[in-house]
Amino acid sequence: MTLQYTYSKNQRQSFLTYEASMTRLFREGHTETVGSCTVQSFEFVRSMLDKSKTPQERLQLLCKACDKHQELYKDAMCGQGVNRHLFALYVIKRFSEEESPFFDNIFPGTYLLFTSQTQKDQCEADAKGLSDEVRLIIAGEGFGPVADQWCCLQCCRRENTLVPEQSRVQRMANIIIIEILFVFMVIFDF
């Protein structure tokens, strides 16, 4: 939720967010998308920007947003997500070249915020036999820039990985640290 808040505050608006959930509980399972930019997360973000809200109101909204996020994540992980199914229908629609206001409205041109958790050692098997120098740079992440204003935030990293130093990434990392502290200070009334 802090990432939603930080990105929204920094960009002055909320964005659809791509967060992958593993569906490896199933044979051939890969990922499902968690729609983490929810009404509840938006209400939390809005409360943080509203000086008239009390710390108790903000904490209550944060808890509601986190509960909704956990519900969506568990649903996606257990095969109850709908995004991949809708995306398959969207791809069929695109190839059939038929117009569909429904699909044109539910899929953005690009997601601007990626907040996926990458399994810590998911690339370990792929890295066997590689030199130490090459193994050092494999972080197990699969997202690259998709738009000029994108931001990709991986919540889990392997030890000893190198990540290219980028001014936008470093700036966002600094902002996130400050905003996490700010959220705690505001909610717990420091």
Give the pLDDT of residue 87. Answer: 78
User: pLDDT tens digits for 13-61?
Assistant: 776 677 777 777 777 777 788 877 889 999 999 998 898 999 889 989 9
User: pLDDT tens digits for 106-145?
Assistant: 765 555 555 655 454 444 555 556 555 544 444 444 555 4
Q: 149: domain range? A: 2-187
pLDDT grade for 164, boundaries at 50, 70 and 90: very low
The β-bridge relationship of strands 17-22 and 31-34 is antiparallel
Query: Residue 16: which CATH number?
Result: 3.30.559.10
Give the pLDDT of residue 71. Answer: 93
CA distances from 112 to 5, 35, 65, 153 (A): 14, 13, 20, 11
Give the pLDDT of residue 161. Answer: 46
Contact 36, 115 (CB under 8 A): yes
Give the pLDDT of residue 173. Answer: 66
% of the chain surpassing 70 pLDDT: 56
User: How far is 150 from 20, CA to CA, in rounded Å?
Assistant: 16
Number of domains in the chain: 1
Give the pLDDT of residue 28. Answer: 74
Which residue has tokens 């257990």? 78
Neighbouring CB atoms inside 10 A of 175's CB total: 15
Instruction: Indicate whether 97 pLDDT > 70.
Output: yes
Selected residue with higher pLDDT from 30 and 172: 30
The pTM assigned to this predicted structure is 0.63
Closest listed residue to residue 15, CA positions, set 24, 6, 28, 23: 6
Selected residue with higher pLDDT from 5 and 45: 45
